[in-house]
Amino acid sequence: MNAPGTSTTTGVSSDEAGDESATTWSSGVPAAASAVLPVSGEDLLVGEGTPAVRHLLSIADLGRDGILEIMRLSDAFAEVAERPIPKVPALRGRTVATVFMEPSTRTRLSFETAAKRLSADVMTFTASTSAAVKGESLRDTVETIDAMGIDAMVIRHHASGAPLRVTDWVGASVINAGDGTHEHPTQALLDCYTIREALTARRDGEVPADLKGLRIAIVGDIKHSRVARSNVLAFTALGAEVVLVAPPTLMPASLEGWPVTATGDLDSTLGEIDVIYLLRIQSERLGEVLLPSLDEYHWRYGLTRARADALKRDALVMHPGPMIRGVEISPEVADMPASLVTRQVRNGVVVRMAVLFHLLGSGVI
Ligand code: CP
């Protein structure tokens, strides 16, 4: 398991990526948006920013500049999403395969929607109805799909590092849609975009340069959370302070190399944070008894109404989903205006359009 700050692929770490001279969000209308908005068609140049990476396995593959480029592209695609026909021909003739070896609602549907809105063809693989149930290996499965002629493979797998192995076996770009307890980079990107959007609304449309000055608490099952790992990389690359909050049994054995602070005391952090990011208890990965009971977890670490009342007045509440109401969050808190959960899902489509375009696009929307 890699600590945040290290990369499994191209070697750009979040620490290396903290360059203050990097392009920022706040230079007026984002370049991509200004290029795409006034007209439609195929003659629009966008994204003359950072060079695209071939695969997206970790947030560290993007670094700060790459994250900011995805934010700018997402602005452009958010405008596309407002059109009567929310579709552009950017990836016409390309094929995107979604290969999910673990269940998903949000990630798979939003990637497939994103690909279709970019006019790509979509190939959907579902493990339970595939030859995988007959014993076909991961290697043979992905080589078979690649042989049909695809440009990108979006893969979710229960084994940490599986997408990295797949890059050795296929010619397509590989996008990690969640691998074991390692990373879920597109979740972190849509989370950054959602926080940035909330800050922009609060500032009457002025887009913040980054997340500097924010204190973000990630609460819950850190030990098993690929979302936590990607978000620690992304939030800190953008200048936020991160505090991890969990009982000792749900904290990683070592936090060496993680640019975070950690505590077991949620109540003492509530008045000091700008964002509370709740994680699902991953019962399917626990494998051992790490909690006395889910009720006890809710009592100590759940965002109850009383705890929500102890937050700063304008604190944001986030959760990657699926949310287990009554465990990590009370039902009434989940539905409060401060809760950005639905907004996170909505933004998942435009951010994944940006990721697909960044990896496969030719510079033309
Ligand atoms: N957040 C997330 O990855 O949700 P799904 O498991 O529904 O894709």
Q: Where are the domains of the chain?
A: 14-44, 59-182+346-360, 185-344
Any ligand 1 atom below 6 A from CB of 225 = no
Any ligand 1 atom below 6 A from CB of 105 = yes
Q: Which of 303, 296, 294, 295 is nearest to 267 (CA)?
A: 303
**Torsions phi, psi of 216, nearest 5?**
-115, 125
Any ligand 1 atom below 6 A from CB of 106 = yes
Instruction: Give 23's pLDDT tier (boundaries 50, 70, 90).
Output: very low
* Closest atom, ligand 1, to C-alpha of 156: 8
Q: What is the pLDDT of residue 220?
A: 96
Q: What is the pLDDT of residue 46?
A: 41
* Closest atom, ligand 1, to C-alpha of 109: 8
Q: How far is the CA of 204 from the centre of ligand 1 (A)?
A: 31
Pick the CATH number of 185-344 from 2.130.10.10, 1.10.260.30, 3.50.50.60, 3.40.50.1370: 3.40.50.1370
Q: How far is the CA of 106 from the centre of ligand 1 (A)?
A: 5
Any ligand 1 atom below 6 A from CB of 107 = yes
**Torsions phi, psi of 108, nearest 5?**
-70, -50
**Residue 23 · residue 142 · CB < 8 Å:** no
* Closest atom, ligand 1, to C-alpha of 102: 6
- Residue 109 is inside which H or E element, if any? helix 106-117
The answer regarding whether domain 59-182+346-360 maps to CATH 3.30.1950.10 reads no
Q: How far is the CA of 321 from the centre of ligand 1 (A)?
A: 6
Q: Whose CA is nearest to atom 4 of ligand 1?
A: 106
Any ligand 1 atom below 6 A from CB of 320 = yes
Is the backbone of residue 52 left (phi > 0), alpha (psi -120 to 50) or beta?
Answer: beta
| pTM of the full structure | 0.86
Q: Which has more confidence, 174 or 36?
A: 174
Any ligand 1 atom below 6 A from CB of 323 = no
Any ligand 1 atom below 6 A from CB of 282 = no
Q: How far is the CA of 345 from the centre of ligand 1 (A)?
A: 9
Q: Whose CA is nearest to atom 6 of ligand 1?
A: 104
Q: How far is the CA of 322 from the centre of ligand 1 (A)?
A: 6
Same fold, 59-182+346-360 and 185-344: yes
**Greatest CA separation for the chain:** 60
Any ligand 1 atom below 6 A from CB of 348 = no
* Closest atom, ligand 1, to C-alpha of 105: 7
For 236, 281, 291, 295, 307, the CA distances from 266, given in Å and listed in that order, are 20, 16, 16, 16, 9
Q: What is the mean pLDDT of residues 249-261?
A: 94
Q: What is the pLDDT of residue 363?
A: 65
Q: How far is the CA of 187 from the centre of ligand 1 (A)?
A: 8
Q: How far is the CA of 107 from the centre of ligand 1 (A)?
A: 5
Any ligand 1 atom below 6 A from CB of 257 = no
Q: What is the pLDDT of residue 202?
A: 94
Q: Which of 321, 6, 281, 63 is nearest to 187 (CA)?
A: 321
Query: Looking at the chain, how many residues does it have?
Result: 365
Q: How far is the CA of 226 from the centre of ligand 1 (A)?
A: 11
Q: What is the mean pLDDT of the chain?
A: 86
Q: How far is the CA of 108 from the centre of ligand 1 (A)?
A: 8
Out of 16-25, 92-101, 297-306, 329-338, pick the least confident.
Answer: 16-25
* Closest atom, ligand 1, to C-alpha of 320: 1
Q: Whose CA is nearest to atom 3 of ligand 1?
A: 107
| pLDDT tens for each residue of 269-316 | 999 999 999 999 887 766 566 777 888 899 999 999 999 999 999 999
Q: What is the pLDDT of residue 51?
A: 55
Instruction: Give 365's pLDDT tier (boundaries 50, 70, 90).
Output: low
Peptide bond into 322 cis (omega under 30): yes
